[in-house]
DNA sequence: CGAGTTTGACCAGCGC
DNA sequence: GCGCTGGTCAAACTCG
């Protein structure tokens, strides 16, 4: 099976001879992801909206590797959920966060015991999400940011629980979910939601500070992603993705300026999406 | 003592 | 309407 991965996403797989058209054929196939010789695969849950609803992110992830209902929900709310990359998500837009992390808890009103979770009638705001699978024994891969675990749930059809993390930066609303694949316990599925509005905090283990957004994924993942394979399982070129870890001041790819003809559509000017996702050393030039 | 984790409970969305 | 499930809260707990 040589399904063609997208160009410029292979790091040291010299045998790859990908073309931009490969994207079109790279449909999401969990089996492919898991059984391939690659260590890591990146999926995307696209919440970003372009000019239209053409992008139906949920399609990429119809595999049960990722919560399916989420995808549907996500697609449905993609338009409303998209935040300008330059604008950190206002806490107000996220009731749950605004109440808990701001410390402005409306001193427990007896009549509303738990409505901090979500206001009634207020739809949960979904942020753009970015998912990838990594073969790793470690559940929680470090990515340069500090995360605080705020929940864990058993998920249906999976013996492994799903963990919920939130960026410890009080101004940052980025969340991530970590779960193991039920099909392949060695595979960790990490889903980022939202965009960091700050830089990495550096690695406590001497990984180097201030590596910038590129460290977000690259540094930690390099061991795992040395042979990483990223692909967009979508026929469309990747949407304007400001990856979750991209600082807001980074220029994002102009939606209408996708470069499908470019051999590396994912690598926008100034590295763009993968520039933020993949450490430069991991990229093939 | 502050930061992070655990865990049970609650809530919303969705399908039937 | 009801039940299921995912997502989140927050108190209690652990750790450095």
pLDDT 10s digits, A240-259: 444 444 444 433 333 333 33
A72 in contact with nucleic chain B (CB within 7 A): yes
List of protein residues whose beta carbon is under 7 A from strand C: A 67, 69-70, 96-97, 99-100, 105, 108, 114, 116-118, 124, 150-157, 162, 164, 166, 175, 177
Strand B, nucleotides covered by protein (CB < 7 Å): 3-15
C5 C1' closest Cα residue: A156
Nucleotide nearest to A73 (CA to C1'): B13
Largest distance between two CA atoms of chain A? 64
Strand C, nucleotides covered by protein (CB < 7 Å): 4-11
**Nucleotide B14 C1' to residue A73 CA (A):** 10
Neighbours of A216 (CB within 10 A): 27
Instruction: Quote the pLDDT of residue A40.
Output: 59
Which domains, ranges and CATH numbers included, belong to chain A?
Answer: 129-184 (2.20.25.80)
Record the pTM. 0.53
Instruction: Quote the pLDDT of residue A169.
Output: 76
Neighbours of A48 (CB within 10 A): 26
Instruction: Quote the pLDDT of residue A70.
Output: 37
B14 C1' closest Cα residue: A69
**Nucleotide B14 C1' to residue A69 CA (A):** 8
Instruction: Quote the pLDDT of residue A207.
Output: 39
Q: Which residues of chain A have pLDDT under 70?
A: 1-128, 141-142, 199-285
Three-state SS letters, chain A = CCCCCCCCCCCCCCCCCCCCCHHHHCCCCHHHHHHCCCCEEEEEECCCCCCCCCCCHHHHHCCCCCCHHHHHHHHHHHHHHCCCCCCCCCHHHCHHHHHHCCCCCCCCCCCCCCCCCCCCCCCCCCCCEEEEEEECCCCCCCCCCCEEEEEEEECCCCCCEEEEEEECCCCCCCEEEEEECCCCCCEEEEEEECCCCCCCCCECCCCECCCCHHHHHHHHHHHHHCCCEECCCCCCCCCCCCCCCCCCCCCCCCHHHCCCCCCCCCEECCEHHHHHHCCHHHCCC
**Nucleotide B9 C1' to residue A114 CA (A):** 10
């Amino acid at each position: 099976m040589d399904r063609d991965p997208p160009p410029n996403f292979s790091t040291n797989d010299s045998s790859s001879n990908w073309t931009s058209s490969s994207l079109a054929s790279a449909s999401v196939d969990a089996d492919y992801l898991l059984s391939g010789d690659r260590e890591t695969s990146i999926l995307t849950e696209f919440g970003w909206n372009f000019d239209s609803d053409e992008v139906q992110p949920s399609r990429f992830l119809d595999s049960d590797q990722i919560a399916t209902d989420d995808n549907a929900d996500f697609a449905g709310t993609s338009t409303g959920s998209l935040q300008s990359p330059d604008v950190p998500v206002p806490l107000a837009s996220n009731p749950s966060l605004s109440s808990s992390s701001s410390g402005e808890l409306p001193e427990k009103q007896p009549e509303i015991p738990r409505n901090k979770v979500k206001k009634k009638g207020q739809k949960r705001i979904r942020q753009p999400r970015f998912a990838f699978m990594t073969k790793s024994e470690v559940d929680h891969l470090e990515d340069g940011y500090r995360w605080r675990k705020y929940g864990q749930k058993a998920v249906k059809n999976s013996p492994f629980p799903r963990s919920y993390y939130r960026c410890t930066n009080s101004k940052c609303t980025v969340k991530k979910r970590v779960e193991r694949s039920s099909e392949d316990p060695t595979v960790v599925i990490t889903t980022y939601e939202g965009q960091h509005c700050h830089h990495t905090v550096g690695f406590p283990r001497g990984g180097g500070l201030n590596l910038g957004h590129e460290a977000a994924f690259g540094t930690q993942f390099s061991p795992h992603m040395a042979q990483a394979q990223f692909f967009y399982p979508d026929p469309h070129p990747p949407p304007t993705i400001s990856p979750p870890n991209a600082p807001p001041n980074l220029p994002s790819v102009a939606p209408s300026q996708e470069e499908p003809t470019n051999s590396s559509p994912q690598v926008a000017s100034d590295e763009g999406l993968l520039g933020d996702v993949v450490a430069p050393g991991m990229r093939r030039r």
